[in-house]
């Protein structure tokens, strides 16, 4: 019997939530996107997650989100899986992006729950079903209550897990007990991906098949090694790496995380430009402080 775990066995490991590179003109940069993708694959990335929170998807037009996916798909040429985040405040936009992702050859789509307006669980469930029915492409739901204000129960996800085409969940919360409860009611064939980078090992230990995260843009090799050690049962060694990366994350939290990561990438030789306003625009003094901080961590490989 074919299960989701066997059918989608490539959807595992360390999957960066890709930073969207911009040029000096503020438009998506084709060459830098390709540079970043190749760099991350060489450093052990198992796939990519596009146009989510880290990728500033909600600050881009539909056409820009489609363009980014087309660049990445052309660059990876199915070397690794690509998940297109199609989340939007309205169902029609999510459906349109889903159909494009299918036509472009993406491995899967994902969608955060609609936000700002206070929707009931049945409305959100219908939203997900509409996305799942829009095209023949697997859907990974997205649980991110701190950003969306939508906190769905384990039973809600149990119902979603029974919908054809909905294969898993990106769980972005540090409440690993809640993660376990969702896994328990949905069954092991429902693929759960850890979201918060600072508890990557905890999520894997709880049963996540992989991790989709933001700081995998700036320290992918560290997280790839953590995942490898976990799979080998070397928990103490994996925990030591989690402590290392968390020291960087502790410094990151002094800034907007997107601004911090873009600056680290620039210092690593990959200039992804500045984030779109109103995301924090770093001052020269802040850039200097980030450089001094980054030099303390040799694995960040700043130049």
CA distances from 189 to 3, 108, 163, 204 (A): 6, 16, 13, 15
116 is catalytic: no
Structure tokens at 142: 């997205």
- 212 is an annotated ligand-binding site residue: yes
Cα 239 to Cα 76: distance, rounded to the nearest angstrom: 31
Q: How many residues does the structure list for the chain?
A: 303
Structure tokens at 108: 């899967």
Q: Is the dihedral of CA 201, 202, 206, 211 positive or negative?
A: negative
Please state whether beta strands 166-171 and 139-143 pair in parallel, antiparallel, or not at all (unpaired): parallel
- 54 is an annotated ligand-binding site residue: yes
Structure tokens at 154: 């384990």
Cα 75 to Cα 6: distance, rounded to the nearest angstrom: 26
Select which of 170, 216, 222, 227 is catalytic.
Answer: 170
Q: What is the dihedral of CA 215, 31, 51, 61, to 10 degrees?
A: 140
Cα 167 to Cα 52: distance, rounded to the nearest angstrom: 18
128 is catalytic: no
Query: How many CB atoms are located within 10 Å of the residue 247 CB?
Result: 12
Beta strands in 121-279 (DSSP E): 139-143, 166-171, 191-194, 210-213
Select which of 8, 142, 216, 227 is catalytic.
Answer: 142
Residues annotated within the binding site are 54, 212
Residues annotated within the binding site for pyruvate are 54, 212
User: Any idea which residues carry the catalytic annotation?
Assistant: 142, 170
């Amino acid at each position: 019997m074919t299960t989701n775990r066997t059918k989608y066995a490539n959807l595992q490991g360390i999957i960066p939530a890709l930073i969207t590179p911009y040029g000096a003109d503020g438009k998506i940069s084709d060459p830098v996107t390709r540079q970043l993708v190749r760099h991350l694959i060489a450093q052990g990335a198992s796939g990519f997650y596009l146009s989510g929170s880290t990728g500033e998807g909600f600050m881009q037009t539909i056409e820009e989100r489609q363009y980014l996916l087309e660049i990445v798909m052309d660059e990876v040429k199915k070397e690794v899986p690509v998940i297109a985040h199609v989340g939007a405040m309205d169902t029609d936009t999510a459906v349109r992006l889903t159909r494009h992702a299918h036509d472009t050859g993406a491995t899967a789509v994902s969608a955060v729950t609609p936000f700002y307006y206070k929707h009931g669980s049945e409305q959100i469930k219908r939203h997900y079903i509409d996305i799942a029915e829009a095209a023949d492409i697997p859907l990974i739901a997205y649980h991110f209550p701190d950003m969306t204000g939508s906190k769905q129960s384990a039973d809600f996800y149990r119902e979603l897990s029974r919908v054809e085409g909905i294969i898993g969940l990106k769980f972005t919360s540090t409440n690993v007990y809640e993660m376990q409860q969702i896994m328990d009611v949905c069954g092991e064939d429902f693929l759960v991906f850890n979201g918060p980078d600072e508890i990557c090992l905890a999520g894997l230990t709880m049963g996540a098949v992989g991790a989709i995260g933001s700081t995998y843009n700036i320290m992918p090799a560290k997280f790839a090694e953590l995942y490898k050690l976990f799979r080998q049962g070397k928990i103490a060694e994996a925990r030591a790496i989690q402590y290392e990366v968390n020291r960087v994350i502790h410094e990151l939290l002094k800034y907007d995380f997107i601004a911090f990561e873009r600056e680290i990438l620039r210092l690593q030789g990959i200039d992804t430009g500045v984030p779109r306003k109103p995301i924090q625009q770093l001052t020269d003094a802040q850039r200097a402080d980030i450089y001094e901080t980054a030099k303390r961590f040799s694995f960040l490989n700043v130049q």
